[in-house]
Chain A
């Protein structure tokens, strides 16, 4: 038990190192950081409520994909339109026309890499 102090010092150093990203951000007052996404100014309403979209858009896109590709249902009625095409490139990106300041900002923050864009095309961005 003579090594107890050394072990405790070692543990503290270990915890400090492993917790570096956390306490460094707290110390720099970045703990409350949320990505700043640019919302479209051309539309004031999304196909679902914003809160719901924030957590469920990936499920919605998956459902849309299955409905369109496999179930032959290309349109849906929602709070924006009675006949809206269920399409990422043609519906979502019509309003959210800037992938890098909308999709990418949050995806990068969350560390997710969706592969939608391997095939689906994003609108050309005005630089």
Chain B
């Protein structure tokens, strides 16, 4: 017989090997052609600020004592840079960094004898860029994800389908849905940063686009009282690590286990 079982098995094995060898070759071959164009970055002028675990520090004492009730510098800078719209109706509000009461931010951690300057003042709140972000877990399209390289919880507006699971999942209310077209409600448009469209969710991005071009976050830069600090927690020499190591700091709703990365000095 010309084609027996032995021969069939040999041929099958060879065919299988052929396929197995073929696919990595195809993958690598593809990479070669695309990588040349896209990944090489020049030795040029712009160096990104890079870190392994970005975090923010909010010094509530400096914020309330030096800044006071009416200081809006960080909010204004953030909104200007990111084309955040202002709506008259608070239901439509888009929030990146905003003021709330100490009671709302820290209702499980307050007591009646705390410094009144802090408990009666404003608390700046923003996306906490959690280490274990619940918004990321629920997103069905991976439009929001935690960047492995530096821990920033990112939003990809191209992928967001506006289901608002993340808005519900976030225990800090840090996510806002665009119920209306935001563009007509932006006071002064920054042409360097895209606006959003109706039907997507947005939030603070820790100024990922500014870090990539070597700039510190807009709110940190705008605060003339030094109440906002930004840095890399993985770097033991960083300012944020030193401040955190020196005193006591609190985080919003730590009992939830989300490991928020915005720390408050009280």
Chain B residue with minimal CB distance to A75? B41
Q: Is the pair A76, B38 in contact by a Cβ cutoff of 8 Å?
A: yes
User: Which of these, A65, A76, A82, A120, contacts B43 with CB under 8 Å?
Assistant: A82
Q: What CA separation (Å) do A83 and B189 show in the bound complex?
A: 26
Say yes or no: A119-B195 contact (C-beta < 8 A), given A65-B158, A83-B45: yes
- The answer to whether B117 has its CB under 8 Å from any CB of chain A is no
Q: Is the interface of A mostly helix, strand, loop or mixed?
A: loop
- The answer to whether B191 has its CB under 8 Å from any CB of chain A is yes
Query: Which positions 123-171 of chain B face chain A at CB distance < 8 Å?
Result: 145, 147, 149, 154, 156-158
Q: Is the pair A119, B40 in contact by a Cβ cutoff of 8 Å?
A: no
Chain A residue with minimal CB distance to B43? A82
- The answer to whether A7 has its CB under 8 Å from any CB of chain B is no
Q: What CA separation (Å) do A124 and B154 show in the bound complex?
A: 29
Q: Is the interface of B mostly helix, strand, loop or mixed?
A: loop
Query: Which positions 30-54 of chain B face chain A at CB distance < 8 Å?
Result: 34, 37-46, 48
Q: Quote the shortest CB–CB distance from A118 to chain B (angstroms).
A: 4
Size bracket, chain B contacts: 20 to 34
Which B residues touch A81, using CB under 8 A? Answer: 42, 44
Say yes or no: A76-B192 contact (C-beta < 8 A), given A69-B158, A119-B197: no
- The answer to whether A67 has its CB under 8 Å from any CB of chain B is yes
User: Which of these, B34, B40, B48, contacts A74 with CB under 8 Å?
Assistant: B48
- The answer to whether B243 has its CB under 8 Å from any CB of chain A is no
Q: Is the pair B192, A89 in contact by a Cβ cutoff of 8 Å?
A: yes
- The answer to whether B100 has its CB under 8 Å from any CB of chain A is no
Which A residues touch B192, using CB under 8 A? Answer: 89-90
- The answer to whether A70 has its CB under 8 Å from any CB of chain B is yes
- The answer to whether B184 has its CB under 8 Å from any CB of chain A is no
Chain B residue with minimal CB distance to A124? B191
Q: Quote the shortest CB–CB distance from A66 to chain B (angstroms).
A: 9
Count chain A residues whose beta carbon lies closer than 8 angstroms to a beta carbon of B: 26
Say yes or no: A73-B39 contact (C-beta < 8 A), given A119-B194, A123-B191: yes
Q: What CA separation (Å) do A76 and B147 show in the bound complex?
A: 21
Chain A residue with minimal CB distance to B157? A119
Which A residues touch B38, using CB under 8 A? Answer: 63, 67, 73, 76, 86
Q: Quote the shortest CB–CB distance from A5 to chain B (angstroms).
A: 57
User: Which of these, A74, A76, A89, A118, contacts B37 with CB under 8 Å?
Assistant: A76
Which B residues touch A2, using CB under 8 A? Answer: none
Q: Is the pair B194, A121 in contact by a Cβ cutoff of 8 Å?
A: yes
Chain A residue with minimal CB distance to B149? A72
Q: What CA separation (Å) do A74 and B195 show in the bound complex?
A: 19
Which B residues touch A78, using CB under 8 A? Answer: 37
For A51-75 the 0/1 string (1 means CB < 8 A from B) is: 0000000000001010101101111
Q: What CA separation (Å) do A124 and B188 show in the bound complex?
A: 13
Which A residues touch B39, using CB under 8 A? Answer: 67, 73, 76
Q: What CA separation (Å) do A120 and B158 show in the bound complex?
A: 11
Q: What CA separation (Å) do A77 and B196 show in the bound complex?
A: 29
Q: Is the pair B41, A83 in contact by a Cβ cutoff of 8 Å?
A: yes
Q: Quote the shortest CB–CB distance from A82 to chain B (angstroms).
A: 3
Q: Which residues of A approach B to under 8 Å, CB–CB?
A: 63, 65, 67, 69-70, 72-78, 81-83, 85-86, 89-90, 115, 118-121, 123-124
The 5 closest A-B pairs by CB, nearest first: A82-B42, A83-B44, A83-B42, A118-B197, A119-B194
8 extra A-B contacts, CB within 8 A, seeds A70-B156, A76-B40: A73-B41, A76-B39, A77-B41, A77-B42, A83-B46, A85-B213, A86-B38, A89-B192
Q: Which residues of B approach A to under 8 Å, CB–CB?
A: 34, 37-46, 48, 145, 147, 149, 154, 156-158, 189, 191-192, 194-197, 209, 212-213
